[in-house]
Structure 1
Amino acid sequence: MIQNLASGVQAFTSNVFLVTGETTALVDTGANFDVVARVESALESHLGDAEAATGLDRVYLTHTHPDHVENLPAIRDAFGVETWGHDTDSEYVDHAVADGETVQIGDDTYEALHTPGHKPDHLCLFSRSTGVCFAGDLVFANGGFGRTDLPGGDRATIIESIDYLRDTVGEDLSVLHVGHGPSVTERPADDVEIAARAARMG
């Protein structure tokens, strides 16, 4: 099961996805809200009170912009979990995930896609078996795409990364979970294609 724990939060934060299953994990941790309480509540509902305190196995980071990682210290303190991301030079990343490497999230295997342009350490995570993709801030609903005016951002690079995502997921994409705003559950490949075109127009 995949839940967005940042749903309804009014503060500036990224989405935070809790994926329960064989490897219960967070994808991003968000900022400016009590994510620990939301994780505990969700795990109590899923696992019961006894296992909730130790029920989180891993954290995966799509990238390390503050709105995606500021809650991480609280998550580390509460659950003792380690983190996976692209760049272990970051204080937020314990274990490196390389382009093309596979990781376990919930009950499924996800391929990591290194997709810089918004930030050099950006990853998307795609499960070919289920068609689910965590896209971070690469692309958004309705063809939006990540800003490139922040340090490390680059328009030409993000165009290449969107193309890489589009070519990798193809028509297998069934759900696009994004870093901000609503997930895309109907024809998400269309939104990726629109983003590829929009990025070229700027």
Structure 2
Amino acid sequence: MKIINLTEDSAIYTSNVYLVTGTWNTLEDKNTLIDVGRDPLIVEKINTMRTGVGKRKVDQAILTHSHYDHASLLPHIKELYSPTTYAFSDSLKCVDIMLRGGETLRIGDRMFEVIHTPGHTQDSICLYCEEEGVLFVGDTPVIIRVPGCSFEERFVKAMQYIATKDVRAIYFGHGRPMLEYCNAAIQNSITNIKKSRIISRNQIEEHYEDRNNS
């Protein structure tokens, strides 16, 4: 599997756009965009990439969520390459297949699990490859360095599920990937989620005590 960040040097605000291909570009491999961003210069890069003889440049595009910096270019990509498009949100045009979490998709030459992670947005997903230990997270906050935020139950359960996986590389929607100590970082996030819930519970109890004493 090869992972190329097409927007690493973009001059405009956009998400990371990853082109994932197979190592040997065989006919069975699925050339895949993880998010499409909003920088049209990625088209020039895609057209110069070696993505396999007799293959489409882009077989499929998968959106991690529907925010404009991740999804704006989707109609243009659809028009140029006619990929099969996937997203959890039903508010986006040009989406062929709606995701609900739990699906398995071939990306490049590997299989990825779709994990619904409603934290950053209600339609956020992560994509996890067990064989390579690769996790694409979009803007899902899988790295939580300090306690204090509140988290809804579905996100907590999704994070607990991710924490059961062997994650060796995390590719974010913005910034550089994390290529070491990923499992430790995720476990630290779980610890801070637990601490946040204790803080929140204590604050609620203190609020009701104050009301009762007033």
Check whether the contact 2:15–2:70 (CA below 8 A) recurs between aligned residues.
yes
Q: CA deviation at 1:66?
A: 0.0
Check whether the contact 2:10–2:39 (CA below 8 A) recurs between aligned residues.
no
1:129 paired with 2:131, answer yes
**Alignment match, 1:8:** 9
Check whether the contact 2:163–2:186 (CA below 8 A) recurs between aligned residues.
no
Give the residue type in structure 2 aligned to 1:156: F
Report Cα offsets for 1:4-59 as digits up to 9, x if no partner: 111111311000010012111000001134221121122xx3436xx47x221000
Report Cα offsets for 1:46-104 as digits up to 9, x if no partner: 436xx47x221000000010000111122112111121111234214220122111111
**Alignment match, 1:84:** 86
1:29 paired with 2:24, answer no
Check whether the contact 1:30–1:68 (CA below 8 A) recurs between aligned residues.
yes
Q: Distance in 2 between matches of 1:85 and 1:170?
A: 24
1:187 paired with 2:189, answer no
Which structure 2 residues correspond to residues 37-56 of structure 1 after superposition, within 5 A? 37-42=44-49, 45-47=50-52, 51=54, 54-56=56-58
Give the residue type in structure 2 aligned to 1:2: I
Q: CA deviation at 1:163?
A: 5.1
Check whether the contact 1:88–1:95 (CA below 8 A) recurs between aligned residues.
no
Give the residue type in structure 1 aligned to 2:127: L
Q: Distance in 1 between matches of 2:176 and 2:156?
A: 19
Aligned residue pairs total 187
Q: Percent of aligned pairs with the same residue?
A: 28
Please identify, of 78-87 and 63-72, the stretch whose mean Cα deviation from structure 2 is larger.
78-87
Q: Give 3-state SS (helix, strand or coil) of 1:62's partner.
A: coil
Which structure 2 residues correspond to residues 94-133 of structure 1 after superposition, within 5 A? 94-133=96-135
Please identify, of 168-177 and 10-19, the stretch whose mean Cα deviation from structure 2 is larger.
168-177
**TM-score of the two chains, using structure 1 as the length reference:** 0.81
Say if 1:179 and 1:19 are closer, same or farther in 2 by CA, change over 3 A: same
Check whether the contact 1:58–1:81 (CA below 8 A) recurs between aligned residues.
yes
Check whether the contact 2:159–2:190 (CA below 8 A) recurs between aligned residues.
no
Which structure 2 residues correspond to residues 141-156 of structure 1 after superposition, within 5 A? 143=144, 155-156=150-151
Larger Rg: 2
Q: Distance in 1 between matches of 2:38 and 2:84?
A: 18
Check whether the contact 1:16–1:29 (CA below 8 A) recurs between aligned residues.
yes
Q: Which of these residues, 175, 178, 189, is aligned with residue 172 of structure 2?
A: 178
**TM-score of the two chains, using structure 2 as the length reference:** 0.77
**Alignment match, 1:75:** 77
Give the residue type in structure 2 aligned to 1:180: H
Q: CA deviation at 1:161?
A: 2.1
